[in-house]
Structure 1
């Protein structure tokens, strides 16, 4: 006797979970539904199994193979055209040589622990030709209902009745035991169905057809509600012999291999998959099924939810009674509420809310801060841009995968001339190493030659490009969150890639129009020598060594790869540096920050006065941001530090972004210098600083640009300039000229849908475009109350900002409030006048 698993269904009512996978493959307690059925058949002695396939057949065939991993023998029959339930079994009978066999027919997309041995005994005792397994259910509308005579013989049958036709709550489960004589009634060609055609024909002919009513568990996984219900039933132990995979830690808690989870905090029933990482500060409530390779970040809360493979749940996200598909990315503070469902590869933006009952189909992107109240089915909104703020960034192996990096690098290489040279470098993180290798292969494949600097901070990569050896550069590094990866692109002058070049890359990326090199045209991989030495030599040429030699500073490199260069830099400049962290081993991939930032600052602050250092500094892992501690061991806020540098160095020409306090301009002008205003963002500031040949540029965030060395922030140049500035006049004395913060700028954040941004900007331009003092370089900046107001759209998020800085003594929030209301009214399409 053979078994036939019917596994051709598309599961349209289960979408979006079944949009990209066949219905039998949807997981129940982290195993495909059909795998539970294979296990049931094996337990009852059915080891020869035929599987009928139609929708996405390769997914099932690739997963189960020949069945040997389950101790069974599996063959497959694939329908090229719909043949109906009975027709598909007839096709399998013919293709797989099942003629003359008694067949057990069972669905691959329903969960059951039916006693098939008792079914066989009942069938034989009754002398039945066709026996169907029946089950009493609360809502029979979606099933074929059956009425039996006292001896179990079928007397009446109706497929999927209306409520007025419900004359029984006993329904057909789709499990049948059929004799060869019944199979002979099915035509070999055409579409033919068990319930609609075969069984009514047998009933009319008076053939012996019986119903076996079972009290065993059976749940049709036909809807999202039934899918969620089946998960809970397995967790509650209601399904006999169905056990979630993993180690059973307590009565109803199952954890897979290599999972990182504080199991003592888990409240069952719950299932955690293999290689899953759950932050100790996350909350996992009862009735959660979390699949393999899932990350749940700090502060996230997951309750009564099913999370599929490869999904990333960001910091502070909230998921309640929801279903999330494979490889999705729920960003920080997003909320996914009751009975909602996400398909595969969905990105839910930061702070977005998915309302109850909403379905989001695969490959959709929800904007940050959006409130989605209707299902997103056909209207796809893709990523707006690949670059964000001039940088490509994302969660590694979530939305920034090796495949994504390969496409990105192929697009980048296509925009360059064949045979061009690109310098590549990375930090010490594992994710950066993987991403860089993917990028290397793709660039070589487009005919680009590569100067591979291996582990090197971004300043070394920029210097190699600036020296004329390359026409472009790329640096790959971990982000502020260790799960993030950042990819920085540099132009031939070592400035950040221009927006025009970014758009060219994005066009190639979207169109997937890549240049391919063959034979001798494939790029060459070069490992250059003396790159670090040349970086240090250039630094020495632009620094006044007389002001640095013999001085002592305390530096914590916070685990970044810049520590690889530190000893040579300080030795060449004659600096006696006490390096707390920084000799990161480039050969040990994954070495990185191991100390909390605040702890690093406190540690440096304790040591500075002890060793008589000019100052102390904590350098960020990216080797750009520097936080300073003065000679008395007190932290100097970054905005105050910029003011100290301007006052002491007296730059002839400075560049600051349009949203920075006007106090910096006044300070620079008092020192005899001039100031040019740039657009916001470190990339725009760096490009403007290079064009203007500025002496100093900054965002007042701890990143300082000295274009005489590099047109970008670099920690070593920052340390050298600070040492030149504060060797003679102590930093502690200079900072006394300023308060604990500098300037009087406030910022108000307004949610603004992408579709409203154009309307808002148009309204502001119409309102203020005639003002001769208005600056329309980026957003709209106005002079007001002796100060200024800036209304600025965020380029990467559905957000509008209002910045304000009034004249001396005025309340900045009062000034900002007037224009906040104006912008809000434009967002709501009803302009109002500021008083």
Structure 2
């Protein structure tokens, strides 16, 4: 058998480690990660090896040559342009005349390849994917197999809501050569995104072999440090260079350890390294070749590459030091810091935790480095949350941060776009709007400054001015220190997760170019769009003058004044009520609050036609009917679906997977159709608007995400058909939904979903997001949260008691599985 090592990886998330080398050449325990892979292949007599290259190919060729020094035969195949995982292997088609193994050159594993190969032949498989159970599966391809180990489903890089298993694709495959006939040479083609879905569709024998052996995708800097700890703790079987002079202490040839130097197990010291007296090499440290560690210096839980000079009394803690770094006396580096090649850190300089320093830098004497040089940023799991970016003003989101985030967003358009920017009327939002505009301008973007505006109006303005995207900045009236940033696409929808990832990648790597001074465009000021927008709503009302008496509540004065102007312009009598209601999503928790009781009884006693409370973003509203009944979020979805179907017979509504089945009953009565989406704002928006704007779908978008225009549409429908709001509510059949959240550690979420799916194999289940189980005429949805270590459990049944019972059953299951 032959093998293919995919070694084209650039390793952008590992920078600055990969600034001067491709990812397969990054050292693990003093030898390139790809050398460990070659040793593994050789162990199983896979000595004829094809290596696919793309980024810095000469460095790999120069190191490994024809493979003879490593006991193998190597042929190289270089991609001129990126071809994807399968496309790169296709280059070696002439070499691959029998079943072959494909393995990544930038992950570390000690997998028993013989077991996997035997499994492949026993199953008569055309393609076998090596699988591994992991705690947090978000960065991998998630895979589900049946009882025979045949693959039934997979999904690349899911969100938490999409995680349906904790079993992931390791990128190690055993393949029959016939699979290369499924695509053409020099065609961009990927194994997991393109080839495996075809094999699945054609019902070809595609199997998954689950290994318990060690495997680590060295995807980021934390994983890079962790893999060294795992080797030193003997969790993985690799050849550690040097001789084990004491248990857990490896010393390579030519080392000089002076008397009085202290070595703590486990640690590794590379060739020709000198450790002077009183120096201390702490446990879990790996020192590479040709280093000098001077007196009184301490290295703890750190990795040093080659040719570094560490002068007297230097303290290195939890850091990675690349090649030819000079740490002068009394310098210090702290946890998770990374120092790039050829950097000089002068006397008494201090590198704070989590700082990345790119190659060829000079850190001045006594400097405290608390921001990255010159590229890179604080590494976080992600910048975006459930929706947009949120954080503390001048703590998480500073003017510098906002400017860079604006430039990162601008970079996704490659400098050719018109972007609208707006904010609410708060001073912090106005300050940070200036920073976002600066970042966009620096990327060569043409900026439309919409000024102070509510988010739904910004969405409309982006469509009206045919912008390519937008940014809206707003604050919270509940927490004045908190800021929210919505990134919008050309339809005014929040950008999808793919675009969020692009912005995150550009931001984290600072991988974007600034335009030249003469290319910076002038800002276009758009002063009065809000007035045009309100007038447009009034002009589009089909009814004659409305005489509704409305109680209006919001914590935002900006929203109150805008809504008051709109409703009085329509002929309504408006009374502003200032009570602190919870937002629509937590209404169930606030039913006992005096404010809610006051608001509902005030509407009933004051003979109002309805009450409306509007959230800070002006997207969501909570309605109270003329009988004082609160229209909860679930009831509101049913209400707007009813109005839509009565307006458009045979139409289609989009509702989240968590919406009540009563919507389907309403649709059946009106010959309509229901499309279910995931629960995220982006997915609902994408399902409603898609790539092209349709008038009837724009109405739905308005009802979901524009409290101002949406309320007017409800009032217009009531007026035209002579309905009271309570009469519309009475038309909706009774339904009972129960919602709770249960603690669930991040690392247990995939396991929870997998267990629940396996347990309910015979029952009707749905995995659009989380897992939804249909039981006894009702359903229960288990949905991992994207931002917190919890799972949301939502149930619907024929009675409130049974819905609550269903929720309790699954809360107990989740606790049992996650603790087990």
Band of TM-score, shorter chain: 0.3 to 0.5
Q: TM-score, normalised by structure 1?
A: 0.47
Q: TM-score, normalised by structure 2?
A: 0.47
Rg larger in 1 or in 2? 1
